[in-house]
Amino acid sequence: MSATMRIVNGQVYDPKNNINGEIKEICIQDGKIVDAVDDDATIIDAKGMVIMPGGVDIHCHIAGPKVNLARKLTPEARRHDVHPSTPFTRSGSGGTTPSTFAAGYRYATLGYTTAMEAAVSPIGARHVLEEFEDTPIIDKGFYVLLGNNIFLHNLIREKRFEEFEQAVAWWVNATKAYTVKLVNPGGDEAWKGKKNSNVTDIDEKTGPSGDITPRQIIEAFVKTVNKQGYPHPPHIHCNNLGHSGNYITTLETMKTAGDLRAHIAHIQFHSYGGEVGKNPISKAAEIADYVNNHPNITCDVGQVMFGESTIMTADAPLAYVLKGHTKGKWVNADTECESGCGILPFTYQEHLYMHTLQWAIGLELFLLSEDPWRIILSTDHPNGGSFMAYPKLIKLLMDEKFRHEEMKRVNQKALKKCSLPELKREYTLYEIAIITRAGPAKALGLETKGHLGVGADADITIYDSMDDKEMMFSTARYVFKSGEPMIANHEFKTDSQGTVYHIEPTYDNKIEEVLKPFFEDFYSIEFSNYPVDDHYLHQHEIIKTG
Amino acid sequence: MPEEANSRKTEEQNKNIKIVEDATCTFCGCVCDDMELHVDVDEKRIIKAKNACVLGRAWFAEHTIEDAPAALIDGKEVSVEEAVEEAAQTLVKAKFPITYGLSDTTSEAQKQAVAITDYIKGNIDTTTSVCHGPSGLAFQGVGESTSTLGEVKNRADLVIYWGGNPAESHPRHFGRYAVTPKGMFTPNGKKDRTVVLVDVRKTKSAGVADILIRPKPGKDFEVLWALRALVKGVSISTDIEKETGVPLEVLTDLVERMKNCRFGVLFFGMGLTMTRGRHFNSGALLALATDLNEYTHFVAKPVRGHGNVTGADNVVSWQTGYPFGVNFSRGYPRFNPGEFTTVDTLSNGDADAAMIIASDPGSNFPKKAIEHLKNIPVVVLDTKSTDTTKLAHVAFKTATYGINTGGTVYRMDDVSIPLRPAFESPFPDDESILKAIKKRVHELILKNNHSGGASGEAKVAAAVNPL
């Protein structure tokens, strides 16, 4: 049974419907936003409060094999960050890789009601869906890693693009994914097969036979996904993440997409100038300029926040490079025929040149963005920092004075290599609602999310209006999920499971005849046991393609 | 022989036979999912398990339907509903209830078990604490370079087994995953690999080894540490042989092979984790594999025992943040092996009620722990009658995972694999019993809160009217 409710007297920020802080009634019935409700509907007085759609995280790592390895790896990070149970909610533990229940509840506490797990090896899809069942409240989906898939590399190499399209669609269906993810395309073979090396150029020959390039892989996926009309384009983690001078690779990756849709993940980590092996300088302006002028590109920032993080990436060679800096514990986890993975605890420190510059470049990208709909808020949780740092990030964007206070504490040499100190822009609440709600929902093609128009899902957050924006966004007073009050007056009132979003692009079954022999030869599980059965989806919804 | 095969065939033809393809064997951590099960539907038993090893064949043959009550309270037959009620009451009443076992059931059931323990603010632990628990602790300390088994099949040209005897414990590990299979970059199978066995005994596994290294018992850590030193270029005295029983030149040769292979793998077993040194041993081995990545690609992997012990680690980790030995008494999970591991909660006399799922501590725990188990009310879920079910206050007889029930298991390399049941059991499965207990436990706790004072009442009132 779903509540019928009328929220009155609140200041509404709903950018998709051009509502900018007006006092407006929001009516809820049967889990959706409606025009009007009966007079006997429950009334919630939101006087002095700000109403926004529930937050949408377009890029985070919250479930699945690599996240669970990270949890197992870091008992020390959660010992002092406990998450007690309530009569309605389960207990858990936090740190930068919270347990499933804690992750769901903590997202809800911030006012987020949707989050997308951004990197899942196909063979790990079943595990992810098992964890999703235990990740409460938020709606979710995941992106399946196909950029280092040997079978697909072989098809690209042999220019069998028709079969490539079919196989990509087969994999998305088999795993129940939301879109495809490319991570350091072509880099795995160098890592696993050539004694831990890596590709360093988008046009470098790689792959099991050493004869395809990252650019060919990117091009094939961008074309296929656009042709098949996925709601969200290929989600791309470019080559050379974290290396000085990598902005050229990033620009080349975006150019490879031409005018076709593509999403560049955590673009901050890909906006560095300078020479390889030396300290980077900021190329945020060049990257922001390209994105500003190419409406086919969306990106999320991957902001670095000082303090503890967990590096967790399918870019295994990068994690190994970072292990060289931390000299601490490290996990590498290779997945047969399809992916790699690296994990290590990491701390971003204000006094270090590199870390300050990363922090500053992220902020520059936000502040130089001319179209907030396409430069979306993320910390690449938990890589740049936890999603729990979003409120502080929002304050950094909204409050120039606060930004300057923070700048006093960081590496001053690094600040000289970027334009951050000169940037005066302050984000408005309307723009925050875009980069945390309306923008990501649009980029994901989730038409019922990120807005409060009639027919939208009644995923609603109500914050107390406060001058301190970090405080304001840290804890929502009310959170409605599908019309149900999950949080009221800062307390959890009930529990729910959330919906899994996935797509079902069409394909010809004949592709299985091509796939099966490859599986029999090179996989360690049977072809028939590889696709994920529908019952793992629990509550789910298919978003249309094409 | 052909005659015998023929007669078996005729026998099969006369029966109502169902064939289940690509079924999964849950006997050991290999979780082979290529079984072809021939099921006698009328007699409810598996008459043939094609592709299964000797252990798998026995597993499938033994699990027939027994004529026994589904539920017992103090040895007397009761309905499942009555047993669920008694189990829930027992657990809710206890001050320090413990949950243990979990390695031979589905991850779906494991989820329910953690939920119950969370609600009753109890203590949860799995058989990991008595097998590869030390590897879990070592993992927390140094991490692990690892891979799925298919990657070993496709790429590994140097395979080292340390402190284990897969020929007898995981018979298909050699043939299906690591020694003989032909892979993408190992087209000639065994010919493309060098196999090394490190063990104090010359076990049956020695048959596949190109090199057999036999350290003195209890000296694994010293051997591993010497190897680490040699990898790092530190010189080692020839005295190492006196200390460990392994000559320096054998170690030097192994180091050269490890540094120069294309893709190396170190598999390790309980001969390493449950002997002198324990998590130091596992840690040294994991660190060795990590160090070798400076020279080449190198991975390591514990060879896990029970069919879904890896699932237990995973489920407990994603729900609580810790892999085993977790206590909820303060309303949130705390991890402390040595205090919250089951041998300890029993031997120290902490536990005042226990729920044992798919495990038999009554037969294999230390005497002191078993004595305590006899003195507290115990709820047991098992497919068979065991020493533990015999001492149970409430005992459920359940369907066997992978034979009678579907669900999910995690292979030793964390790959999840679905189950394809062969025939139905008259007994309920672990998941449905645990779900029923969970539901009742939650009701009782909300009710207790309710009668426990104003704050409890407010909580229930809020549950009824959320705003």
For A182-236, write each residue's pLDDT tens digit. Answer: 999 999 999 999 899 999 999 999 988 889 999 999 999 999 999 999 999 999 9
Instruction: Identify whether B408 is part of a domain.
Output: no
Closest CA to A329 of A76, A126, A59: A76
Bridge partners, residue A49, by sequence: A464
Indicate the pTM of the whole model: 0.96
Residues B318 and B438 in one domain: yes
Report residue A89: phi and psi, to 5°: -125, 155
A419 found inside a domain: yes
Domain match, B331 and B361 both: yes
Residue type, B344: D
Interchain CB distance below 8 Å, A526 and B467: no
Quote the CA–CA distance of B115 and A96 in Å, as a whole number.
23
Which of A88, A93, A191 is nearest residue B463 as measured by Cβ atoms? Answer: A88
Phi-psi label, residue B22: left if phi above 0, alpha if psi -120 to 50, beta otherwise? left
A382, amino acid identity: P
Task: Please indicate, yes or no, if residue B93 is contained in any of the structural domains.
Answer: yes
pLDDT (average), residues A238-244:
97
Integer angstrom CA distances of residue B266 from B198, B225, B236 = 10, 15, 22
pLDDT at A124: 98
Q: Nearest residue of B to residue A88 by CA position?
A: B463
Residue-averaged pLDDT of chain B: 94
Q: Are residues B373 and B447 both part of a single domain?
A: yes
Quick: pLDDT tens for B126-143. Answer: 999 999 999 999 999 999
Nearest to B335 among A75, A95, A97 (CB): A75
Confidence class of residue A248 from pLDDT cuts 50, 70 and 90? Answer: very high
Subunit contact A100:B319, Cβ cutoff 8 A? yes
**pLDDT of the residue at A210:** 86
Size of interface A-B (CB pairs under 8 A): 214
Q: Is A420 at the interface with chain B, CB within 8 A?
A: no
**Residue A517 touches chain B, beta carbons under 8 Å:** no
Q: How high is the pLDDT of residue B449?
A: 79
Q: Tell me which chain A residues have a C-beta less than 8 angstroms from the C-beta of B146.
A: 331-334
Q: Do B149 and A336 touch (CB under 8 A)?
A: yes
Of A72, A87, A90, the CB nearest to B140: A72
Nearest alpha-carbon partner for A445 in A263, A199, A208:
A263
Beta strand ranges found along B278-421 (DSSP E): 297-302, 326-327, 334-335, 353-357, 378-382, 394-397, 407-410, 416-419
DSSP A533: P
State the pLDDT at residue A208.
Answer: 83
B187-197 tens-digit pLDDT? 999 999 999 99
- Above 70 in pLDDT, residue A466? yes
Best of A72, A149, A150, A521 to substitute, by most chain B Cβ atoms within 10 angstroms, is A72
Task: Examine the fold and report which residue of B244, B271, B302 is the final residue of a domain before the chain moves on.
Answer: B302
B319 and A92 within 8 Å at the Cβ level: the answer is yes
Can you spell out the DSSP letters for A309-349?
Answer: EEEEES-HHHHHHHHHHH-S-EEEEEBTTTB--EEEEEEE-
Task: Answer whether residue A223 is part of any domain.
Answer: yes
Put simply, the chain B residues between 88 and 117 with a CB less than 8 A from any chain A CB are 107, 111, 115
Q: What is the pLDDT of residues A27-61, one digit of tens each?
A: 999 999 999 999 999 999 999 999 999 999 999 99
Reduced to 3 states (helix: H, G, I; strand: E, B; else coil), residue B176 is: helix
Residues of B in contact with A63 (CB under 8 A): 318
Using the Cβ of A533 and the Cβ atoms of chain B, whether some distance falls under 8 Å is answered with yes
Does residue B197 share a domain with residue B107?
no
* Nearest Cβ partner for A524 among B140, B177, B445: B177
Instruction: Indicate the number of domains in chain B.
Output: 3
Confirm whether A397 is domain-assigned.
Answer: yes
Task: Give SS3 for A225.
Answer: helix
Does A336 contact B148 at a Cβ distance shorter than 8 Å?
Answer: yes
Give me the residue from B154, B296, B331 closest to A85, CB to CB.
B331
Tell me what percent of chain A is helix, strand and coil, each rounded to the nearest 5. Answer: 35, 25, 40
Across all residues in chain A, what is the average pLDDT? Answer: 97
* Residues of A whose CB is below 8 A from B149: 336, 524
Q: Are strands A491-492 and A112-120 parallel, antiparallel or unpaired?
A: unpaired
Q: Average of pLDDT values for B57-69? A: 94
Q: What's the pLDDT score for residue B10?
A: 58
Q: Say yes or no to pLDDT of B467 above 70.
A: no
Domain extent, residue A171, equals 54-452
Q: Are B177 and B217 within one domain? A: yes
Residues B143 and B240 in one domain: yes
Residues 279-298 of B with CB under 8 A from A: 290, 293, 295-297
Is there a single domain that holds both residue B98 and residue B9? no
Residue A326 counted as domain residue: yes
- Residues of chain B with C-beta less than 8 angstroms from the C-beta of A92: 319-321, 332-333
Q: Are residues B256 and B147 in the same domain?
A: yes
Residue A463 maps to a domain: no
Cβ neighbours for A55, distance < 8 A, ≥ 6 positions apart = A107, A110, A111, A112, A113, A114, A390, A436, A437, A461
pLDDT of B453 > 50? The answer is: no
In B129-262, where does DSSP find H-type helix? 133-142, 149-155, 166-169, 220-231, 240-244, 248-260
Is B444 in the same domain as B384?
yes
Q: Is residue A199 part of a domain?
A: yes
Look up the CATH number of the domain holding residue A290: 3.20.20
Indicate the pLDDT class of residue B281, thresholds 50, 70 and 90. Answer: very high
Q: How confident is the model at residue B4 (pLDDT cuts 50, 70, 90)?
A: low
Residues B321 and B246 in one domain: no
Q: Round to whole Å and give the CA distance between A234 and A213.
A: 17
Taking residues B307-332, what's their average pLDDT?
A: 97
Pick among A334, A341, A386 to test the B interface (most B CBs inside 10 A): A334
Domain boundary (B12, B27, B62) is at B62
Residue B463 has pLDDT above 80, yes or no: no
Residue B35 C-beta-side C-alpha neighbours within 13 Å: 33
Count of other CB atoms within 10 angstroms of residue B217: 12
Scan for tokens 């798919």, then name that residue.
B358
User: Is residue B414 a part of any domain in this protein?
Assistant: no
The answer to whether residue B163 is domain-embedded is yes
Nearest CA in chain B to A320: B293
Residue labelled with tokens 């804690």: A102
Residues B249 and B140 in one domain: yes
Inter-chain contact B143–A343, Cβ cutoff 8 Å? Answer: yes
The type of residue at A164 is F
Q: Which domain holds residue B36?
A: 2-62
Q: Examine residue A476 and state whether it is found in any structural domain, yes or no.
A: no
β-sheet bridge partners, residue A491: A488
Which ipTM did the prediction report? 0.97
With beta carbons less than 8 A apart as the criterion, state whether A243 and A272 touch: yes
Q: What is the CATH number of the domain that holds B167?
A: 3.40.228.10
Confidence of residue B6 (pLDDT cuts 50, 70, 90): low
User: Is B416 part of a structural domain of the chain?
Assistant: no
Q: Does some domain include residue B421?
A: no
Please provide residue A173's backbone torsions phi and psi, each rounded to the nearest 5 degrees.
-65, -45
Q: Does pLDDT of B28 surpass 80?
A: yes
Q: How many domains is chain A built from?
A: 1
Is there a contact between B416 and A191 if contact means CB atoms under 8 Å apart? no
Kindly report the CATH number assigned to the domain that includes residue B76: 3.40.50.740
B92, B231: one domain: no
Which of B271, B302, B333 is the last residue in one of the domains? Answer: B302
Nearest CA in chain B to A72: B322
